[in-house]
Structure 1
Amino acid sequence: MRILFIGDVVGNVGVEMIQTYLPKLKRDLKPQATIVNGENSTPVGRGISQKIYKQLLASGADVVTMGNHTWDNKELFEFIDDATKLVRPANFPGKDVPGLGWTKLRVNQATLAVINLQGRVFLPPLDDPFATADRLVDEIRKETPVIFVDMHAEATSEKRAIAEYLKGRVSAVVGTHTHVQTSDEQIIDHQTAFLTDAGMTGPTSGILGMQSASVIGRFLNQRPARYEVETNDAGILGGCVIDINDETGHATKIKRVLIDPAHPYDN
């Protein structure tokens, strides 16, 4: 099975990059499943709307994952329970959390499970992602060994730790949230594909997709600032493609995907 994963979609530019390049990537890379992180995809860069959720699916996403901005657009509460292809972090606390923490899809003769987790270092203290992963992976492996984890976390050490903890039990752990693609793609112990961060899909200018002035101002004066999404037309798309053995669930190959002005797409 080949999986294409695309990192955090930011604002209108990010959605436009998905609409422009995801069909081309699917045509050329021929993935059997495509996962897109959409937690920053609204025009203000926080949360997701039903319209954008449908646009991401229409552009070729099979599953949309989320992160720490899951609840920032209140419209989500109106459709999340019916959004069977939308996955929010599974370790949100509480008994009756809206939506799904993981989902599955049939891929030819195999089944792919997609789990979303959120880290706790430098982020709100959710339930333990390690304990949540233990519970979910044990349950899911009764049905399929092919398991993809979107680990939405700030600390690189926490992302690597969850990958080491789950190695051999899941097919891939790919980090999101920091919006900067790392160059450490690898297959841990010839079993689990890992990438610290897939990078973002959004505007190339500004700071992590946001206009520079407000971000710099906050560093200078330590006062609250409203971050605005950069609307520069130039875009970046970050992600990776992973090959997995359907029978063992072990990854066999991982390769980064990067499209930006310095790395134009050939087709």
Structure 2
Amino acid sequence: MRILFLGDVVGRAGRAAVQELLPRLREDWRLDFVVVNSENASNGMGLSGNHAKLLLDAGADCLTLGDHAFDQKDMLQFIENEPRIVRPINFAKGAPGRGHRLYTAPGGRKVLVAQVLGQVFMKRPFDDPFSAIEPILKSHPRGGQAQAIIVEMHCEATSEKMAMGHYCDGRASLVVGTHTHIPTADAQILSRGTGYLTDAGMCGDYDSVIGMDKQEPMRRFITGMPKARFTPASGEATLSGVFVETDDRDGQAKSVRMVRIGGCLQPAAP
């Protein structure tokens, strides 16, 4: 199976990049399944129902959220009626929506998508991500009901993401990190056949501070004083993520490559 995962979509620039580039990528790369993290798609904070529809119409099969899952209040209701959106498993007890879902890809093949939040350096005390993902992996063995299993680790610390990669090795097809908006250069296949990338980066304007217009973040770092709200940068966005090709028989990753298209980062096509 040919799977594309795109990192955090940030603001209007990120949405525009997905809308412009994803339809062509689906065709040119013969993609079977596309996952897009979209928790910063609406003004850099959360995802609205209208923006979710735009990204799904552009070709995403599944949208994931994160610690800003419900910053846009209409998502509290929207997610209950849209199964193509996944929020973190360990977000909060009683949170609307679901933290994992099984989807159907072309040919009747099944793809499991699960998202979990890390704990290190995060502002809120989320439940243990390892014990949260364990029952999902146990009930969905790789190559069984699901031909491909994608685990997204949404957190700050690279070490915690790496630990999740090794924890899922041999049980997931791909473990990919999100949240920092900074792409890493360590795409690899782990020893038991799981594709891995510490952070997919963002779909946004990299002439920025993690997707936000530079002026206000720099002022706060330099003076320690806020003056205005953060606003997403509006220049040309780079589409960032990871492409993985899996074996339908056992769900192992056969190849994994970073994706950088447009904007100020160089492209890398599979």
TM bucket normalised to smaller: over 0.9
Amino acid at match of 1:249: G
SS in 1 for 2:9: coil
Out of 154, 158, 168, the residue aligned to residue 152 of structure 1 is: 154
TM-score (norm 2): 0.93
User: Is this contact kept in 1: 2:195–2:253, CA < 8 A?
Assistant: yes
Shift of 1:190: 4.5
What is the TM-score of this pair, normalised by structure 1? 0.94
Partner of 1:179: 181
Aligned 8 A contact 1:145 1:169 in 2: no
Q: Are the aligned partners of 2:66 and 2:87 in contact in 1 as well (CA < 8 Å)? A: yes
**Unpaired runs of 5+ in structure 2?**
none
Two-structure CA RMSD over aligned residues (Å)? 1.6
Q: In the alignment, what sits opposite 1:228?
A: 231
Amino acid corresponding to residue 33 of structure 2 in structure 1: A
Matched-pair contact (CA < 8 Å) for 1:145–1:170: no
Moved more, 98-107 or 154-163: 98-107
- In the other structure, the counterpart of 2:172 is 170
Name the aligned partner's letter for residue 40 of structure 2.
N
In structure 2, give the amino acid aligned to 1:251. Answer: A
1:136-178 Cα distance to aligned partner (Å, 9 max, x none): 1112226325210111111000000001011101111011111
Match of 2:4 in 1: 4
The residue number in structure 1 matching 2:91 is 92
After TM superposition, list the pairs within 5 Å mapping 1:51-90 onto structure 2.
51-90=50-89
Equivalent residue for 2:194, pick from 181, 192, 195 = 192
| 1:5–1:240 contact (8 Å) kept in structure 2 | yes
> Who is 2:31 aligned against?
31
Q: 2-side partners of 1:217 and 1:171: how far apart?
A: 42
Give the CA deviation at 1:78. 2.3
Q: Which amino acid aligns with 1:202?
A: G
| Residue-by-residue CA offset, 1:70-121 (whole Å, 9 max, x unaligned) | 1111111121111100000011231x22001011111223211000111111
CA contact (8 A) 1:114 1:147 kept: yes
| CA displacement at 1:264 relative to structure 2 | 5.9
Give the partner amino acid of 1:149. V
5+ residue gaps, structure 1, are: none
Structure 2: how far apart are the matches of 1:23 and 1:120?
A: 35
Q: 2:134 corresponds to which letter in structure 1?
A: D
Count of aligned positions: 263
